[in-house]
Structures are given as C-alpha cells and as structure tokens.
Structure 1
Amino acid sequence: MADHEQKAMQLMQEAEKKLKSAKGFFGSMLASFGGGSSKHEEAAELYVRAANSFKMAKKWSLGGEAFCKAAELQLTLDSKHEAATRYVDAGNCYRKGDANEAVRCFQKAIEIYTDMGRFTIAAKHHITVAEIYETELVDVEKAITNYEQAADYYKGEESNSSANKCLVKVAEFSAQLENYEKAIEIYEQLGMYAMDNSLLKYSAKDHFFKACICHMCVDLVNAQLSVAKYEDMFPAFSDSRECKLIKNLLKACEEENVDAFTEALREFDSISRLDKNLTAMLLKVKKQLNAEPELC
C-alpha cells in the first residue's frame, strides 16, 4: 500500500509540473497553437492515475481530491461528460470517510448531467445522494428532497417504474416525519398506478393499506371512509388480509378495546410481519386508544 501511495504522490507532482509548464512562456506559445489543451489533458490523465493509485492504497480522501482536480481540468477543456464521471469517482472515494464531501461531488456531477440533458443519469445520482442522507448523514428531509427530484427526472423521461420506487421512499419518510397527508397522497397515487397495470396490480393493496394506516394516525373517521373508497376503487382490496386488519383495528378503536387491537395485530403479524415503520405508526394509534379513548 505504501508503494501505491508513493506512486500516487509522484503522479500528482507530474500533473502539477504539466500544468506549470502550460502556464509558462513556452506554454503560452504552445497554447496559441492548441498545445496548451494537450498539456491539460495529460495533467488530467495523470490526476486520474494518481487517484486510482490512492484508491489502491485506501487513501480515499486523497483519491477524491485527485479525481476532483481531474474533473476541474476536464471542465476547462469543455469535456463535460468526462468531468461528471470524475466527480462521481470522487464522490465514491469520499463516501468512504467524508459523506458531506461526497454529496458535494455528486451534486457537481448532477449539475453537469442536467445541463447536458442527461436526466436519467442525474436521477440515479440524486438517489445516491438521498441514500447518503438516509444512512450516513441521517437527514431525512434532504433524503426526501433528493428522492423527489429523482422521481421528477424519471417521470420526465417516462421511466415511471423507477419514479415510483423513489416515491415509495418519499411516502415512507414523509410518514416518519408525521407528514401523513403527503404520504397518503403518494400512496394513493401509487395504488391507482398499480391497479391499472397488470404486472403491478397485486401491489396496489399494499399501497392502499399503508394509506389507511396513515389515515388512522390522523383521523379514525376518515380512515373508515378511506377503506370504503379503496374497496370501491379496487374491489380486490376487500378480500385482502390487509383490508381485514384495518377493519378489525378500526372496530377495536370504535369499541375502545385495546385487547382486540393487540390481538388483530398479533394475528396478522404471525403470518406476514409488518415492517418497523408501519408497526411504529400502529403503536401510536394504540397509544392514543389507551390515553384518549374519546378519540375513538
């Protein structure tokens, strides 16, 4: 590893010498004949080689820095695609130890790709940024912003399946932040899209189920109305275990029966486990049932 790091440092020095020679008197003369750009290209290649050597030495921050230098040179050469690629490489390096710097690099790449009209690849990198905010920087609101932007770009490119995967995340995180109205709107949108698609029809019940749980966290009367609405829109929802669970939970709330609420959850969970987010939301409803029975 020490050998790789030493080689990387040598390559960095060579790149800097190339740049200095391009700025000198003879470099200025060469530039007038187009030779200056070749010096910049050679320096950029040296920075990339240095970055890869830093990667082999597991010197991630130094690798990221070298890739950024290459990207900056590619921009001066108007090689936008190459510059964006190097910013992505830099982001992947920085992600090993500096999440904020990784985000900065991915955002630079996104700016270039959107300027080029490459919205699908820009969306892909927005997802990467969202994942960094989700798992490493733990900033749910910024994760939502990036998943939403990715969804918008995918929709613009008619990649509705990819857009919907992003919207699932937006709905989940919105519910976590107790922005239930937004989550409901998205789950209903996803449910309607799924029920009109023969390949996705089965998943419609899951989206309507999650929308119902969000409704329960806000208003039990509206939750009852929403069940009827979803059954009318998608009759297959009526026969699903998810719909039966919602009805049992609403009945338990109406009767102020905490034991029945708990038993309905236990029975459902014994066959197919609820994910932790839905469980947390239903426990919130149960807590309200315990503390303020008049709400039911």
Structure 2
Amino acid sequence: MGRFTMAAKHHQTIAEMYETEAVDYEKAVTHYEQAADYFRGEESNSSANKCLLKVAQYAAQLENYEKAIQIYQEVASSALESSLLKYSAKEYLFRAALCHLCVDVLNAQHALERYVQMYPAFQDSREYKLLKTLIEHIEEQNLDGFTEAVKDYDSISRLDQWYTTILLRIKKQLNESPDLR
C-alpha cells in the first residue's frame, strides 16, 4: 500500500540527519541500508541504489572496504543492465577498484580484469588507465610516480573529497610498506 516507501523515506531522512548534524556515519549507514531495503521492497531500484551508494561511500570511509566493494559492484552491474545508466557504471567500478587497492594490489588486479569482462568500455577509460598506472607504481614502490599519476589525473578530472581520502590511504600504505625487492 505504499507504506514501505514512506518508511524508506523516513529512514533516509534520519540517515541524512546523522550524516550532517550528528556526524555519526555508522548510524547513517544503518538507516541508509534500512531505507534501501524498503525501497527495494517497493521495486524502487533507483532510490535503493542511491541509498546503497551512500552506504558504500561511508563504509569505505570507515575502512569497511569489503562491504563498499560489494555494493559498488552490485550497483555497477545493475547500471550495466540499463542503456541509460551504463555509463555511470564506470565510476562505480573505479570506486570499487580503489577500495580493492586499499586492501591489496593483487586483488585490485584481478578485480580490474573482472570489470573489463563485465564492461569492456571500462578498459578505454581514463580511470582504468589511472588504476593500471597506480598498480605499477605501487609494485615498484614508486611514491613520486604514484603522486604524479594522481596529480595528472586530477588536473583533467577533479577528484572529490572521497577519492582524495582513499588515494591518501593507499599512498600512506605504500609509504609504510617495506621494500621487498
């Protein structure tokens, strides 16, 4: 009877309040997840995906990378099913791959291969090329190359706060990891 949509909107509003006023991202994530479930129950997939993307964004910020990766991949694959939304899949795959890089390089390489199979046009994107370059620099322990690659990308496509935070975490790991060569 449409009551789930009302409940979902209330949960979304509560999540937004936790997000902006209380700045409690864990509680915001809980309410966004609840809203996404209710929206899905009403077949409102775009609203559900919007909430799930917020969950993934905060999960990554809270260093729960596995959850973020799973959500970004799920939303990307649903976007690929729609001819209108398939171009946004590139961003979700890029975000998922960055989360993989926060975990480890080998997982990121395997994920990139899977993403190219899912969405062949991803291989021609600037995001894919940046990821490949970052992986090379991480393997070579080349901190300056890593920084330069990010700066080059940022000079053309501005990186928002989320990307900056995740890339700084990857760089910090690179800085702290011992040189095994």
Give the TM-score category using the shorter length: over 0.9
Contact 2:72 2:96 in 1 (8 A): yes
Opposite residue 216 of structure 1, the aligned amino acid is L
Q: Select which of 157, 171, 179 maps to 2:64.
A: 179
**Considering only aligned residues, what root-mean-square deviation do their CA atoms show, in Å?**
1.4
Contact 1:289 1:295 in 2 (8 A): no
Q: Select which of 269, 273, 276 maps to 2:161.
A: 276
**Alignment of 1:217 onto 2:102:** yes
Q: In the alignment, what sits opposite 1:154?
A: 39
1:208-241, Cα deviation, whole Å (9 max, x unpaired): 0000000000111101111111011110100011
Opposite residue 222 of structure 1, the aligned amino acid is N
Query: Matched residues in 2 for 1:295 and 1:150: separation?
Result: 46
Q: In the alignment, what sits opposite 1:287?
A: 172
Q: Select which of 94, 109, 112 maps to 1:227.
A: 112
Query: Matched residues in 2 for 1:202 and 1:286: separation?
Result: 28
Opposite residue 212 of structure 1, the aligned amino acid is A
Instruction: Give the structure with higher Rg (CA).
Output: 1
Q: In the alignment, what sits opposite 1:195?
A: 80
Contact 1:130 1:142 in 2 (8 A): yes
Q: Select which of 17, 20, 28 maps to 1:132.
A: 17
Query: Matched residues in 2 for 1:280 and 1:154: separation?
Result: 30
Q: In the alignment, what sits opposite 2:150?
A: 265
- Unaligned ranges ≥5, structure 1: 1-115
Q: Select which of 103, 110, 131 maps to 1:246.
A: 131
**Aligned residue pair count:** 181
Closer, same or farther in 2 for the Cα pair 1:285/1:213, shift >3 Å? same
TM-score by length of structure 1 reads 0.59
Opposite residue 260 of structure 1, the aligned amino acid is G
Distance apart, 1:259 and its partner CA: 1.1
- Unaligned ranges ≥5, structure 2: none
Opposite residue 285 of structure 1, the aligned amino acid is I
Query: Matched residues in 1 for 2:7 and 2:176: separation?
Result: 47
Query: Matched residues in 2 for 1:168 and 1:216: separation?
Result: 19
Task: Kindly indicate whether structure 1 or structure 2 has the higher relative contact order, using CA contacts under 8 Å at least 6 residues apart.
Answer: 2
Q: Percent identity?
A: 63
Opposite residue 22 of structure 2, the aligned amino acid is L
